[in-house]
């Protein structure tokens, strides 16, 4: 393979070194990712979750959590800016693909996974 041959990426098209850069991808902001990882850490400590995966796609960002790495994700936390004005950018989707909660505020959306506990 020479330096001028196209570079092939898994699951994608071959791209040469002179091709245009791809469109920007949707990502989680630092505060959003910190909030998600804080919830993830508590669930791991409780023994409920064991693994996670993050995808940054052109149209959405996905944080998937797993009970075991070989299974389908228990939950997917999705940031999709397309319906952001009407329905909110954030959603929690369960293993069967049903949207459990959608909204503008990440903290409120994540409450469907871990409800607030009343302290007495």
Over its length of 120 residues, how does the chain's per-residue pLDDT go in tens digits?
Answer: 444 454 444 555 555 555 556 668 889 999 999 999 999 999 999 999 999 999 999 999 999 999 887 778 999 999 998 876 788 899 999 999 999 999 999 999 999 998 766 555
Contact 26, 80 (CB under 8 A): yes
The torsion of the CA quartet 85, 103, 54, 21, rounded to 10 degrees, works out to 0
- The pLDDT of residue 102 is 94
pLDDT at 10: 54
pLDDT at residue 24, as a whole number: 81
Closest listed residue to residue 57, CA positions, set 97, 21, 92, 26: 26
Give pLDDT, residue 87: 86
Count of H helices and E strands in the chain?
A: 2, 5
Paired strand residues for 65: 52, 75
Distance CA 96, CA 11 (A): 24
Residue 38 backbone dihedrals phi, psi, to 5 degrees: -65, -45
d(CA 14, CA 8): 4
Q: Tokens at residue 77, please? A: 């936390």
Between the CA of residue 74 and those of 11, 64, 66, 109, 119, what are the distances in Å? Answer: 24, 7, 5, 16, 27
């Amino acid at each position: 393979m020479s330096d001028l041959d196209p570079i092939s990426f898994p699951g994608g098209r071959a791209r040469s070194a002179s091709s245009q850069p791809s469109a920007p991808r949707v990502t989680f902001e630092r505060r959003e990712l910190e909030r998600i990882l804080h919830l993830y850490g508590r669930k791991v400590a409780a023994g409920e979750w064991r693994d996670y995966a993050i995808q940054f796609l052109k149209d959405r960002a996905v944080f998937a959590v797993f009970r075991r790495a070989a299974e389908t994700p228990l939950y997917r936390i999705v940031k999709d800016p397309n319906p952001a004005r009407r329905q909110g950018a954030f959603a929690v989707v369960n293993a069967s693909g049903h949207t459990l909660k959608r909204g503008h505020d990440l903290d409120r959306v994540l409450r469907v996974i871990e409800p607030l506990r009343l302290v007495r």
